[in-house]
Amino acid sequence: MSTGTTRAGWPSVPQRLKEAEIRHAVPGSKGGASTVFTAFGYADRLMYKKYTEPRDPAALDRLVELHAAMDAESAGYARDHMAWPVATVRAADGQVAGLMVIRADMTFHAHLSTSRVRVRDFNYLLYEDRAARVGVPPATVRQKAALLRDLVSVLLWLDERGLVHEDLAAHNVLWRLEPEATVFLLDCDSLRPAGEATGQPLFTTVDWTDPRVLGEEVARPDRASTSYAVGLLVARVLGSPYWRPASGEGSIGPGGGFPPALEPLLDAAVGPAANRPSLRTWLDGIDGIAGALPAVRRVREAPPTPPATLRVEGQTIGLNDRLALLAGLVIGALAAVLVMVRFL
Amino acid sequence: MHRVVPIYLAINTSPSMARRLVEVEQMLVALTDELLSSPVLGDQVRIGVVSFADTADLVLPLTDLTRLGRMPRIPSGRETRFGPLFELLAKVVGRDLTVHRAMDAEVMRPMVFLLCDGLPTDNGWERSFAKFYGVAHAGVILATIGLDEKETQWLGSALRATAAFSWADERTYSLAARVEEVLLDHASILVTSRVISTPRGSSSGSPSPEQDA
């Protein structure tokens, strides 16, 4: 049920909706425990995130209320940078079926040469040679630093409000370069008050998760986990997408032209929690190197491919082979005709 | 360290499957588009194709589909025999694991997606399967066409399948779309969030009903 729009073109939405009231279609991205649908009637500003597993209604209601209570400036910032939940959606039995969340606008989408439209997440920044093959131009090193700066700014904004994003990962951060380098955070139902004890299941992405959480040293991602995830993002975006912290003593840097000035911060971020840099320190660190970074694209080395000894067995003759055979036959026939003409 | 997610398609090419082979080839094209569209999946997922009937053939070795010049044509065969399939898979998967590990890649557990429309006709195929399982430690996802639930369950159990699907033998659905969905669901763990812990005392299994509904 939409009830008109506010002065900024923002649809006014009740904080609780019944699922039957939502006109939705066209399932979009499918996650581990939810599917996102286009929702009609909300000025293209909202999407319906439908859960396939139960969620805690109180935690979701709290996020919705936080948005409703924001002043105009904060609400504007949240809408520009985060898929913040603006309404909970209840099924007929009263349980939470999903959320209405802010939709990333089309500047965060990419029209691929495969005729598909996808949200432009950080994976298109990490695997830029592959992204370029489907029409997503690579960013320069300086532009990447600007995107990372904007990401840290968003996380700092959340931190100042006592919130931690529990699922920071490349697929949850969208980016655009025009009109300016900007990021947009997805899965904001993973926002939780820092330090809060909760019995809710933890949704996260193993490759990007603080080892303290995976090792059950701490129950939930905390501020130190955010610093760890920022370290991974900085290392993988400015260095190599394959970089992982060393498990033993000492560390090997991400290489790939990673700025040496950020190495101490990275070492600290993946080390003991007590020594991890604050988000403010990360911001200062990125600002410190930004001016010195080249406005050029840096081609990354592709991973090795298996040797050619793995031959195809039983492969049928392809078009090129057929054309080559045909050309050979034609040339042979012409030669035969010439020989016959010469000697007849 | 580069990660490799090996997926092998084992396609039954007995005569009754002949009309489905075009759909399998269409699926490979659609899968390639998807791997192109998702840079992280394209970077890590590698696909191999094995056809099997009375014999088994490696139609496509473990490959980055997005760099393939042309799609393989899948030849049709005669009866459905599992023995040759698992003999070949044991060699192929074992060799691929060795090669990729030697290249310092992190190789995820291989997955074999087995598509067939009949029960195996050969005796003793279980020995070949046991050998394959011992070498490859691969997960198996089974999809049958036209077999009933009971037969599919029996076969899935014999293959230690992590998932088994029993699909009707009719044209009312796109086989290509179904296979692609299953494969991408397997691979999508790389790009989606999962529950990694459910603390004791969690109330998530029974959320409280709306108070003011």
H-type alpha helices, A192-278: 211-214, 223-238, 263-269
Residue range(s) defining the domain that contains residue A44: 16-102
Q: Which of A55, A134, A311 sits opposite B204 (nearest CB)?
A: A55
What span, in angstroms and rounded, lies between the C-alpha atoms of A154 and B111?
39
pLDDT for position A314: 36
What is the DSSP code (8-state) at residue B210? Answer: P
Residue A303 in contact with partner chain B when CB distance is under 8 A: yes
CB contact under 8 A, A54 and B206: yes
- Amino acid, res. A65: E
What span, in angstroms and rounded, lies between the C-alpha atoms of A25 and B58?
41
CATH (domain of A23)? 3.30.200.20
In a domain, A227, yes or no: yes
pLDDT greater at residue B118 or residue A253: B118
Residue B118 in contact with partner chain A when CB distance is under 8 A: no
CB contact under 8 A, B96 and A310: yes
Least CA distance to B29: which residue of chain A? A114
Domain co-membership, A93 together with A127: no
Q: Which residues of chain A does B196 touch, with a Cβ-Cβ cutoff of 8 Å?
A: 202-204, 206, 209, 213-214
CB atoms within 10 A of CB A147: 22
CB contact under 8 A, A201 and B75: no
Three-state DSSP at A117 gives strand
What span, in angstroms and rounded, lies between the C-alpha atoms of A157 and A180?
19
**DSSP labels, A172-215:** GEEEE-SSS-EEEE--GGGEEETT----SPEEE-GGGS-HHHHT
pLDDT for position A254: 84
| C-alpha pair distances (Å), B105 with each of A303, A307, A311, A324 | 9, 14, 20, 37
Q: Is the pLDDT of residue B13 over 80?
A: yes
Domain co-membership, A90 together with A235: no
What span, in angstroms and rounded, lies between the C-alpha atoms of A90 and B58?
51
Per-residue pLDDT tens digits for A42-60: 888 999 999 988 888 999 9
pTM of the model: 0.84
Cβ atoms of A15 and A64 within 8 Å: the answer is yes
Cβ atoms of B90 and B125 within 8 Å: the answer is no
Domain co-membership, A35 together with A134: no
In a domain, A305, yes or no: no
Comparing A191-200, A205-214, B102-111, the range with the smallest average pLDDT is A191-200
Domain co-membership, A249 together with A167: yes
In a domain, A326, yes or no: no
Between positions 138 and 197 of A, the ones with CB within 8 A of B are: 167, 169-172, 187, 190
CB contact under 8 A, A202 and B73: no
Residue B191 in contact with partner chain A when CB distance is under 8 A: yes
Give the N- to C-terminal CA distance of chain B in Å, as an integer. Answer: 52
Q: Which of B1, B2, B72 sits opposite A315 (nearest CB)?
A: B72
pLDDT for position A338: 77
In a domain, A109, yes or no: no
Which band of pLDDT confidence, cut at 50, 70 and 90, is reported for residue B207? Answer: very low
Between positions 135 and 154 of B, the ones with CB within 8 A of A are: none
pLDDT for position B197: 60
Which band of pLDDT confidence, cut at 50, 70 and 90, is reported for residue A170? Answer: very high
**DSSP labels, B97-111:** HHHHHHTT-EEPPPE
pLDDT for position A320: 46
In a domain, A335, yes or no: no
Domain co-membership, A91 together with A135: no
| Mean pLDDT over each residue of chain A, to the nearest integer | 86
Count of domains in chain A? 2
B contact test, residue of A61, A124, A174, A200 with most B CBs within 10 A: A200
Q: Is the pLDDT of residue A4 over 80?
A: no
CA B172 to chain A, closest CA, distance in angstroms equals: 21
B37 token code pair: 């569209």
Q: Is the pLDDT of residue A301 over 80?
A: no
Three-state DSSP at A250 gives coil
| Mean pLDDT over each residue of chain B, to the nearest integer | 86
A161 token code pair: 């409000």
What span, in angstroms and rounded, lies between the C-alpha atoms of B197 and B205?
13
Residue B213 in contact with partner chain A when CB distance is under 8 A: yes
Q: Which residue has the tokens 């990275």?
A: A266
In a domain, A221, yes or no: yes
Domain co-membership, A181 together with A73: no
Comparing A142-156, A270-284, B135-149, the range with the smallest average pLDDT is B135-149
* Domain parsing of chain B, residue ranges: 3-119+134-190
Domain B3-119+134-190 fold is Rossmann fold (3.40.50)
Cβ atoms of B77 and B103 within 8 Å: the answer is no
Which ipTM value was assigned to this complex? Answer: 0.82
Which band of pLDDT confidence, cut at 50, 70 and 90, is reported for residue A203? Answer: confident
Cβ atoms of A263 and A305 within 8 Å: the answer is no
Between positions 9 and 38 of B, the ones with CB within 8 A of A are: 33, 36-38
Q: Is the pLDDT of residue B196 over 90?
A: no
**A232, A185, A239, A240: which is closest to A209 by C-alpha?**
A232
Domain co-membership, A212 together with A187: yes
- Amino acid, res. B53: A
Q: Are strands B56-63 and B45-52 parallel, antiparallel or unpaired?
A: antiparallel
CB contact under 8 A, A31 and B192: yes
Domain co-membership, A270 together with A123: yes
Domain co-membership, A261 together with A219: yes
Residue A30 pairs in a beta bridge with: A35
Domain co-membership, A98 together with A123: no
What is the radius of gyration, based on Cα positions, of chain B?
A: 19
| C-alpha pair distances (Å), A231 with each of A16, A154, A236 | 37, 15, 8
